[in-house]
C-alpha cells in the first residue's frame, strides 16, 4: 500500500512561511500506531490524516497528530485539510466548497476557497466555544520558564489563565511585543511551571504596537510537552484565546474581527483571523480562518506494519 500526501504552509499566502503541515490522504487503512509513527517521521508540528467519516453527517474524517501525541482538535490542520480538499475537488479559481469535517472534538463546518493552482483559504466555525479551565502558575515560575522578568508579566491589559476550545493552553500576557523577542525557554523550568498532572502549552500574547491595528495581537506558542519546541501558528490556541478576549476586553454586541500574528521571531510569519460574535455580553460564535499554500507533494512508500 502507498498513500498520497502533500505539504502545506498554513496561515500564510507565501510559500516557506507560516506553519508547515503534512496532509495524508486516504488514511483509512492506518491504525493509531501507524499514524503516530508517520507523524513522527514528518516531524512537523502536526500531521493530519484524511479518512472516510464514521458518522453519516460528515464528509470526511480528520485525525490530527503531533510528533508524539494525538490532538482532538487543532486549527492549522483544519485550515490546511480544508484547502487541500478544496483544491482536490477540481474547483476553479475563486470557487468555494463547504465540508463537514469529523474531528475527535466533534464535527467542524469549514469553507474553502481556491486562490490559485496551489493556494487557497479556509475558515471554520469552532466546534466548541472556549472556556477557562484553570489558573496560571505563579509569575516567578512562568518568568523562570520563559527567561524573562516577573515584571514583564504585570501591568498588562488582560489577565491570563488556562483556556480551552478542545485543547488547553496557558495564555500568558506580557507587557509588550518586545518581551516576546526576549523569550528563551528553560526546559526544566518549563516542566516545573507547565507540567504536572495536566501539562499545557504556553501561549504568550502581547498587544501589537501602536504602528499596527488596535485589534491586532502578537503571539508565540511553546509546547515541548507535545514535541513542539515552538509553533509558527496555532489555531487551537487562537480559539482558546478568543474566549479570554471575549470575556476581558469589553467587546460590544455583534461581530468583531481580530488578527493574531505569530511566528515572527521564528522567521515564519503567520496570520490567523478571528471573527467573534457577541450576544448578550457573551461569545456566541467563533470563526477562525487563514490561507494555505501547497509546497510539496509525494507518495508514502513505507507504511508501518507492512513489509518493505
State how beta strands 47-51 and 60-65 pair: antiparallel
- What is the structure's pLDDT at 226? 87
Q: Which three cell numbers stand for residue 287?
A: 470563526
When computed from its CA atoms, the radius of gyration of the chain, rounded to whole angstroms, is 19
Closest CA to 23 of 72, 65, 67: 65
Helix (H) / strand (E) containing 252: none
Query: Residue 264 has which C-alpha cell?
Result: 515572527
Phi-psi region of 250 (alpha: psi -120 to 50; beta: other; left: phi over 0): left
List, for residues 259-284, the tens digit of each pLDDT value.
Answer: 999 999 999 999 999 999 999 999 99
Of 46, 102, 230, 247, the catalytic one is 46
Cell of 301: 512508500
Q: Cβ distance 52 to 28 under 8 Å?
A: yes
Stretch 288-292: mean pLDDT, rounded? 98
Question: Does the annotation count 46 as an active-site position?
Answer: yes
pLDDT given at position 214: 58
Whether the pLDDT of residue 60 is over 60: the answer is yes
Q: pLDDT, tens digit, for every residue of 155-197?
A: 898 999 999 999 999 999 999 999 999 999 999 999 999 998 8
User: Which band of pLDDT confidence, cut at 50, 70 and 90, is reported for residue 291?
Assistant: very high
Q: What distance in Å separates the CA atoms of residue 174 and residue 203, rounded to the nearest whole number?
A: 11
State the helix-helix crossing angle for 235-248 and 75-88, rounded to 10 degrees: 120
The torsion region of residue 106 among left (phi > 0), alpha (psi -120 to 50) and beta comes to left
Q: Share the mean pLDDT of the chain.
A: 95
Tell me the C-alpha distance between 209 and 196, whole Å. 35
Identify the three-state secondary structure at position 20: strand
H helices of 183-278, in order, are 187-194, 235-248
Share of the chain above pLDDT 70, in %: 97
Quote the longest CA-to-CA distance of the chain: 60
Amino acid at each position: 500500500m502507498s498513500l498520497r500526501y502533500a505539504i502545506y504552509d498554513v496561515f500564510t499566502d507565501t510559500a516557506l512561511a507560516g506553519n508547515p503541515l503534512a496532509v495524508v490522504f486516504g488514511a483509512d487503512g492506518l491504525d493509531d500506531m501507524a499514524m503516530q509513527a508517520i507523524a513522527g517521521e514528518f516531524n512537523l508540528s502536526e500531521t493530519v490524516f484524511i479518512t472516510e467519516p464514521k458518522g453519516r453527517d460528515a464528509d470526511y474524517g480528520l485525525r490530527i497528530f503531533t510528533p508524539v501525541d494525538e490532538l482532538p482538535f487543532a486549527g492549522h490542520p483544519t485550515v490546511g485539510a480544508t484547502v487541500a480538499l478544496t483544491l482536490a475537488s477540481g474547483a476553479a479559481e475563486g470557487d468555494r466548497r463547504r465540508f463537514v469535517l469529523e474531528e475527535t472534538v466533534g464535527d467542524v463546518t469549514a469553507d474553502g476557497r481556491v486562490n490559485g493552482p496551489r493556494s487557497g483559504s479556509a475558515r471554520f466555525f469552532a466546534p466548541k466555544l472556549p472556556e477557562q479551565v484553570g489558573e496560571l502558575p505563579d509569575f516567578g515560575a512562568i518568568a523562570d520558564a520563559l527567561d524573562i522578568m516577573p515584571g514583564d508579566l504585570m501591568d498588562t491589559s488582560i489577565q491570563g489563565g488556562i483556556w480551552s476550545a478542545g485543547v488547553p493552553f496557558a495564555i500568558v500576557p506580557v507587557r509588550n511585543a518586545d518581551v516576546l523577542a526576549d523569550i528563551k525557554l528553560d526546559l526544566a523550568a518549563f516542566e516545573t511551571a507547565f507540567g504536572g498532572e495536566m501539562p499545557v502549552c504556553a501561549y504568550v500574547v502581547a498587544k501589537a504596537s501602536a504602528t499596527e491595528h488596535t485589534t491586532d495581537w502578537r503571539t508565540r506558542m511553546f509546547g515541548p510537552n507535545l514535541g513542539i519546541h515552538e509553533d509558527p501558528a496555532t489555531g487551537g490556541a487562537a480559539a482558546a484565546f478568543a474566549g479570554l478576549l471575549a470575556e476581558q476586553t469589553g467587546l460590544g454586541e455583534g461581530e468583531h474581527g481580530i488578527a493574531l500574528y505569530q511566528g515572527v521571531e521564528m522567521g515564519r510569519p503567520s496570520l490567523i483571523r478571528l471573527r467573534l460574535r457577541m450576544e448578550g455580553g457573551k461569545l456566541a460564535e467563533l470563526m477562525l480562518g487563514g490561507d494555505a499554500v501547497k509546497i510539496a507533494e509525494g507518495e508514502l512508500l513505507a507504511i508501518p506494519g507492512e513489509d518493505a
